Structure 1
Amino acid sequence: MAIVIIAVALYRVATGKPLLPCGSSDPVTLAADPSISEEIGQLVADAGDDGCMSIEVESTSTGAMLRRLADREELPDLWVPTSSVQSDRVSRDSQLPFETVLNSVASTPVVLAVKNGEPSVRSWTEALGTPGTIVDDVADSGVADGAMLAAAAEREKGLVSTEQVQQSLAVLAQGQRPSNEGLVDQLAKTGGVAVVTEQELAARGEQNEADGIHTQVPGTGANYLSYPLVVSAQDPGRRDDVRKAAQNLADKATDEEFANTLAESGFRTADRAPLDGEAGVGETERLVVRDSGVLDEAVREWRLMSMPTNSLALVDSSGSMGLEVPSLGTTRMGMMVQTLTRGVEYFSGSSALGLWAFNAADPTRTEPYVEIQPLGRLSGPSASGVQGTYRDDLVSGLASLPEHVGGATELYSTVLSAYRSVLDSYDPNAINTIMVFSDGANDAAETIGRDQFFAQLREMQDPQRPVKVVTIGVLDDVDPTVLAEIADATGGSSHISRTPEEIPQVFAAAIADRSTPT
């Protein structure tokens, strides 16, 4: 852990002032979020004129604080997290009382960094649900907290539904790809959208323009990081001295000198007044969540949704999938290829996906399906021998689906075969699922009956190796009853898209639902 020592004691010696008149030989420890630790260090140095005690400032994330608790390590005396939401979370998890001395040392809105040419984002829910959006680890980052709280505020205001927020979190969680670069540097190379702060972009100055990056705030507003000053010391013998040191810092934090320090680094003062000139985003509506527990719920959902998936996609390739969709100028299968190609981006590189096309077109075929791509880890090398990843193989396989259209829908036998396949390749560290995409019912002439199918499906199920079937029905002539029955029998979920426009949203909803516990 990086530690910045503010040697107030040396300053006392140099100026002839008393060394430690507060009656304590131990310095006060202050943990500050890495985004503001340097500015807090300057504040400590500026506030050292009362001759009280030395203060050591350490750069510490919320995740590091939680790890200290888990390891039963002593907490710092003072803490400056990014928001009261984080200090409340740590206090609640540890069941230790914290005391807020100053509600806000500084502030900055959470914003979007966007490469030139990217479209405007209307809401935080939309931003989080856009494939390719980059965000820090939710369990460790106040910036990620800010974005999730903004989406929750949109839900509280009735601008979006609970389901839409959950779908966005699922897309975001599954789509994250690890990188050793900072978010803005990563964005400059890959394009897309990144969740950052106004301060981070303001501090980069002209480099943003050179990288083709501009700032965006959704029309709904922004959540602000507030950086409270919190007493976290638990030793009763130290708390009075710690409070005095904290109050001294709180008094100094309102001075013009510290305001200038903040402005030089791109921070706003506690009153959230806009930065001077064109350095920031100006006046923005503040999004506030009334129910502070929503973040804990969202973080729990995030952790579950972030689990890799081991999933086999079954795509109906019966003759009806060759029908035209006039509004799109393509066939049903063409529509499905477009949706699933984009959907591949919803999954992290640690996920394993496979692709089958199923129909009863070829009576000489021993199986009711064609394996387009076997289960494989998306970040793994291409199986084709050319440069690229298995994700590229899957996209190529999707493009070939129109070649397999024809015949009737042999749903039952395909689901049973897929269930056996996923059980054989079961990954205990992933969510194991089968995703079925179909526009019809089980109408093949030579197939097992409904009762026999469900009997065999239930017989294969293993509580120690749960496999969910998630079904996605497409357009008006789909049979929702049988798809729902298959999903219910495995603890999965069923979704119906009645129009082409609904399909991407329904697919996102299916991703969210397949992440929920059985």
Structure 2
Amino acid sequence: MGRHRGRYAEEPSGRSRRRRGRGGAFAALAAALVIVVGLAGVGVYMFGNSDGCGGSDIQLDVAASPELAPAVDAVARDFNLTETAVDGRCVHVEVRQVDSANVAFGITGAGATMGDTDSDVWIPDSSVWPRLVQSQSGDAVITDTGTSVARTPLVVTELAAYAAEGDEPTTWMDVVPTTAPGEQAEHTVRVVDPARSSTGLGTLYLLHGALKEASPDNDTFNATMTAALQALHRGASADEEAAFLALSGGGEEAPPIMVMSEQAAWRYNTAHSDTSVRVDYLEDGTYYLDYPYIVRTEDGEITRAAEAFRTAIRSDEARQHILAEGFRGPDDEVDTSLLAAEHGFQETAPEELPAPSEGSITDLTLTWNQMKMDSRVLAIVDVSGSMLAEVPGTGMTRMQVTGAAATQGLEMFSPSSELGLWKFSTDVNNNLHYQEVAPVRELQAAADDGTEQREILAGSLASLQPLPQGDTALYETYLAAYQEMSRTYRPDRNNVILMLTDGDNDNPGGMELDELLSQIDAIASPARPIPIITIAFGPDVQNLEPLQQIAAATGGAAYMTEDPTEIGDIFIRAFSLRISDPEE
């Protein structure tokens, strides 16, 4: 009744203020009573027939993805003015901006959340999120109504200063960052963390699909996907705001590009007119954000209220609010005055690729998080006499080539990764066959003289000198390294032993393979994996099988090449273990 009270509370204009006599006062009072009773009766009649409203409002709480929330709020304001009734009570819609991942993780408990995740209606940016909730929380109340409130395809954007109409890329393979460590990239790919962004996850999904189709075998795919993930991690931002800031600031050695939604590109250009982007639609199709209308209640009255608002949000009037925010409508219509051709936008909707399945979502997120986890690596370099041999066509010794390749491999690791260095041969450290050159610590950590660990390792690798009479005590060194890494194990990191050697085990009277495997088995724990990865190179490596047995016993891998210059590529293949199926 409160909403109607005001129109009956106004004082009649021009009312006389003369003093009245007692008789006049009684007459006035009687007349007032008649008027009040009459108006009250009219008021009850009018309210009862104003779309059937009566009593208190039904409050419908709608949580919408932040970029869509302004359009949904405009629809809600229009809807609330209509006084639409359900069961004789007006429905009043309140719209809140809520991050889609925040809601999903609030329901499943599978990730960090900022709270405030409850609502009657949820409009996330992608159907990916409710499907993820349903797969991880089967008892959650999630009803997909089949309504897509808005649509926007993922596109590739490049700062207009670097872009020109007709420029590459034209396919998703052109976007994939597969540059090996230390090589100059054609472009820097920026991405929002796929673990919390459907745009970031969509980017990962599209690049994954392009690489899978282009790779002749699993080894090639794993290696190229690893390189791509490494590059994407370097260009990742925690959220869209941070990604936009990084994109607008430039500063990369290579021109930055970013996969974002068409609507996000419009928002970016609206806020960054001095550093605007140009949009590119790729010829092999794309993935769409589809903003599904999800009902999260089983309460009959609230469900009917949600259905009433769903009808409103599908109206032609609502569609205008949605188009005005840079989205495409349910039928892919677009406001070309906003998404203008001068910035590369096109009116024709690009081909839509199938959205990722729940299994793909889970696998890709796991892969991303595995790659994001910092490494803790003990690298061990062979300094036996054979490392003095020259590598044909390079003018460098095996030692020099190995040191250069290992230094290049350092670029694969984040500043917070931990790396240490040992050298080994025979009797390099009194009666020991191995010696610590640099302890395992973060690459960004500084020594007492201020030198960072990354620089210390690079200098140490460059200065390693082979022992002319030294043999190759592989097995004793493996065991010592495994014992050390077990003793100092870090459960929050990928703990790895990386061995670089140019020969087979060669230490007469030393440890045999069976003894090594037995001792490793006694130490090893499935809950504390320490894979041993061996890169063996040169013509002196005659038998890879023992190294493969060691790899199998620890969940690692063994690689062999006669060309030490291939070590850099093998680094990438070794890292691909982090994205391979353990059963493979």
Q: TM-score range by the shorter chain?
A: 0.7 to 0.9
Of the structure 1 ranges 322-331 and 181-190, higher mean CA displacement relative to structure 2 is found in 322-331
Tell me what 1:167 maps to: 226
Q: Do the aligned partners of 1:184 and 1:194 also contact (CA within 8 Å) in 2?
A: no
Q: Do the aligned partners of 2:98 and 2:117 also contact (CA within 8 Å) in 1?
A: no
Pair 33,10 (structure 1): closer, same or farther in 2 beyond 3 Å: farther
Tell me what 1:258 maps to: 322
1:29 to 36, 41, 61: 61
**Aligned pair 1:378/2:406, yes or no?**
no
2:151 aligned counterpart, secondary structure = coil
Question: Distance between the aligned counterparts of 1:397 and 1:209, measured in 2?
Answer: 48
**Aligned pair 1:435/2:473, yes or no?**
no
Question: Distance between the aligned counterparts of 2:3 and 2:450, measured in 1?
Answer: 63
Pair 28,374 (structure 1): closer, same or farther in 2 beyond 3 Å: same
1:79 aligned counterpart, secondary structure = strand
Pair 200,258 (structure 1): closer, same or farther in 2 beyond 3 Å: closer
Q: Do the aligned partners of 1:316 and 1:438 also contact (CA within 8 Å) in 2?
A: yes
1:91 aligned counterpart, secondary structure = helix
2:132 to 84, 89, 108: 89
Q: CA deviation at 1:86?
A: 1.9
1:352 to 411, 414, 418: 418
**CA displacement 1:319-376 (0-9 Å, x = unmatched):** 444555556675544544454444334334443221223334x656443334332110
Aligned letter for 2:98?
A: T
Aligned letter for 1:80?
A: I
**CA displacement 1:174-194 (0-9 Å, x = unmatched):** 757776871132343552656
* Structure 2: segments with no counterpart, 5+ residues: 8-45, 85-90, 110-114, 182-187
Tell me what 2:151 maps to: 106
Tell me what 2:112 maps to: none
Question: Distance between the aligned counterparts of 1:472 and 1:206, measured in 2?
Answer: 51
Q: Do the aligned partners of 2:377 and 2:496 also contact (CA within 8 Å) in 1?
A: yes
Q: CA deviation at 1:418?
A: 1.1
- RMSD value over aligned CA atoms? 4.3
1:127 to 176, 196, 201: 176
TM-score w.r.t. structure 2 length? 0.71
Tell me what 1:184 maps to: 244
Pair 297,364 (structure 1): closer, same or farther in 2 beyond 3 Å: closer
Question: Distance between the aligned counterparts of 2:558 and 2:291, measured in 1?
Answer: 43
1:102 aligned counterpart, secondary structure = strand
Give the 5 Å matches for 1:394-433.
Answer: 394-401=457-464, 403-404=465-466, 407-433=470-496
Aligned letter for 1:127?
A: V
Pair 190,62 (structure 1): closer, same or farther in 2 beyond 3 Å: same
Question: Distance between the aligned counterparts of 2:401 and 2:270, measured in 1?
Answer: 43
Question: Distance between the aligned counterparts of 2:79 and 2:368, measured in 1?
Answer: 40
Tell me what 2:20 maps to: none
Larger Rg: 2
**Aligned pair 1:509/2:554, yes or no?**
no
Question: Distance between the aligned counterparts of 1:250 and 1:87, measured in 2?
Answer: 20
Pair 514,276 (structure 1): closer, same or farther in 2 beyond 3 Å: closer
Aligned letter for 2:176?
A: A
Of the structure 1 ranges 269-278 and 27-36, higher mean CA displacement relative to structure 2 is found in 269-278
**CA displacement 1:115-168 (0-9 Å, x = unmatched):** 988997774697365577543332211111111221343256455755525535
Question: Distance between the aligned counterparts of 1:395 and 1:171, measured in 2?
Answer: 20
2:156 aligned counterpart, secondary structure = strand
Tell me what 1:5 maps to: none
Q: Do the aligned partners of 1:313 and 1:353 also contact (CA within 8 Å) in 2?
A: yes
Q: CA deviation at 1:431?
A: 2.5
Pair 485,386 (structure 1): closer, same or farther in 2 beyond 3 Å: same
Pair 82,506 (structure 1): closer, same or farther in 2 beyond 3 Å: farther
Of the structure 1 ranges 27-36 and 270-279, higher mean CA displacement relative to structure 2 is found in 270-279
Tell me what 2:309 maps to: 245
Aligned letter for 1:65?
A: V
1:310 aligned counterpart, secondary structure = strand
Q: CA deviation at 1:384?
A: 5.0
Pair 40,255 (structure 1): closer, same or farther in 2 beyond 3 Å: closer
Tell me what 1:298 maps to: 364
Pair 214,425 (structure 1): closer, same or farther in 2 beyond 3 Å: farther
Pair 116,314 (structure 1): closer, same or farther in 2 beyond 3 Å: farther
Question: Distance between the aligned counterparts of 1:286 and 1:183, measured in 2?
Answer: 25
1:140 aligned counterpart, secondary structure = coil
Tell me what 1:452 maps to: 515
Q: Do the aligned partners of 2:63 and 2:123 also contact (CA within 8 Å) in 1?
A: yes
Pair 281,74 (structure 1): closer, same or farther in 2 beyond 3 Å: closer
Tell me what 2:531 maps to: 468
Q: CA deviation at 1:308?
A: 2.7
Q: Do the aligned partners of 2:205 and 2:356 also contact (CA within 8 Å) in 1?
A: no
Q: Do the aligned partners of 1:175 and 1:346 also contact (CA within 8 Å) in 2?
A: no
* Structure 1: segments with no counterpart, 5+ residues: 1-8
Q: CA deviation at 1:484?
A: 0.8
Aligned letter for 1:186?
A: A
Aligned letter for 2:409?
A: G
1:75 to 118, 128, 132: 118
Of the structure 1 ranges 267-276 and 454-463, higher mean CA displacement relative to structure 2 is found in 267-276
1:368 to 424, 433, 442: 433
Aligned letter for 1:108?
A: P
Pair 363,60 (structure 1): closer, same or farther in 2 beyond 3 Å: closer
1:171 aligned counterpart, secondary structure = helix
Aligned letter for 2:483?
A: R
Aligned letter for 1:98?
A: T
Pair 242,190 (structure 1): closer, same or farther in 2 beyond 3 Å: same
In percent, how many aligned pairs have the same letter? 26
Pair 246,104 (structure 1): closer, same or farther in 2 beyond 3 Å: closer
1:301 aligned counterpart, secondary structure = helix
Aligned letter for 2:246?
A: Q
1:58 aligned counterpart, secondary structure = strand
1:56 aligned counterpart, secondary structure = strand
Question: Distance between the aligned counterparts of 1:304 and 1:408, measured in 2?
Answer: 37
Pair 196,449 (structure 1): closer, same or farther in 2 beyond 3 Å: same
1:138 aligned counterpart, secondary structure = coil
